[in-house]
Structure 1
């Protein structure tokens, strides 16, 4: 069987999830929420300078998660549905079609991303994709109220760990498994090395050079 993993930011979604989160927040957030986000974004910027892009991403998501504290799961789903409305034009329709072709062949599809889970849930519903989602989780208490915390950010080596766990532990799949990986960035290098079929999507110049070095194909829509 085949397990097909698809990255979100820069891959299935060609826009910038940070940008659409800000746009949605401009309409929905109150002063208190903006104060929380503002302080977090400053911290994220500092972490980005000192520790790199991934540190910025983690700090950014933590800042937004804190602003969601006290919101119900229903309220969160509604907020992230608005993100989909804002970013609809950036959906990679060519890749959506390719995913559908994989599904027609009986392949299992996993949208695998560091993006927040409610965004991916709303996004895949919008493009009518019935897929598994492995992503960064917002944390809720026993009453379904957001705690303002997030789980492990699914990025880099953690993507490989999660796919291995999904195959071996959660689904107990035996026999030969062919792993495909559609992704766009240098942070996906561990996943590309792990996959039998690494496919580079929307690469920047650095990623193009890496693809050339390892003879990884670059996905091009028909």
Structure 2
């Protein structure tokens, strides 16, 4: 089996969907700018520095989902896709995904960002399989909590192995595997696959990739 995995934010996207979703809600007055904007930036800076407390961040990111109906959230997300996401999808990223879908046996996007934000983005790339942090739901509405293991750092490996097991696939049965990512936070999974690829990497990942002889590519136009 040939497995191809893609990180999403700052890899396939020329930006961060988690950060942009919070900014979108702030710009529309759904979230208070004074309260949320500085915290959103602080969490983003911590993520880039590799110091993010994922549970503290998820409390910040998922709580707003619980304050609005799913119908309202879906309506906002359609506008979010048009205004914030489609402009940061480059043709190089689309071409790479399309080629992988033709050549690989299994292709998935694997991301720390929650599935409410990212599922429509995966569909925009034509990718059926998404492994993401799952927001807890009750009766189709979000509770503001996380369901299961966050898909972050080592959690990506945990979630990936569980996802493969659901499909009757053992990691040992994966003949070749690729993972494309920009972030130092993805080093655990990058070191697990047979073909790690650094994509427009942050300085820490770039240095690690250079020292390890990993390919470094850019998907920016």
Q: Distance in 2 between matches of 1:88 and 1:59?
A: 29
- Give unmatched runs, 5+ long, in structure 1: none
Cα shift readout 1:119-168 (whole Å, capped 9, x = no counterpart): 211112233x1320011112110x2121121233211111111222222x
Matches within 5 A, 1:108-187: 108-127=106-125, 129-141=126-138, 143-151=139-147, 152-167=149-164, 169-173=165-169, 175-187=173-185
Quote the offset at 1:182 in angstroms.
0.5
1:3 aligns with 2:26: no
- Cα separation, partners in 2 of 1:176 and 1:27, compared to 1, 3 Å: closer
Quote the offset at 1:9 in angstroms.
1.2
Residue matched to 2:207? 209
Residue matched to 1:68? 65
Secondary structure, counterpart of 2:169 in structure 1: coil
Q: Distance in 2 between matches of 1:182 and 1:212?
A: 15
Q: Distance in 1 between matches of 2:162 and 2:140?
A: 26
Alpha carbons 1:81, 1:123 under 8 Å: kept: no
Alpha carbons 1:113, 1:136 under 8 Å: kept: yes
- Cα separation, partners in 2 of 1:134 and 1:37, compared to 1, 3 Å: farther
Residue matched to 2:20? 20
Q: Distance in 1 between matches of 2:35 and 2:175?
A: 42
- Give unmatched runs, 5+ long, in structure 2: none
- Cα separation, partners in 2 of 1:18 and 1:218, compared to 1, 3 Å: same
Quote the offset at 1:177 in angstroms.
3.1
Cα shift readout 1:168-195 (whole Å, capped 9, x = no counterpart): x201126443221001111111111100
Alpha carbons 2:7, 2:181 under 8 Å: kept: yes
Matches within 5 A, 1:51-130: 53-55=51-53, 58-85=55-82, 86-127=84-125, 129-130=126-127
TM-score, structure 2 as length reference? 0.83
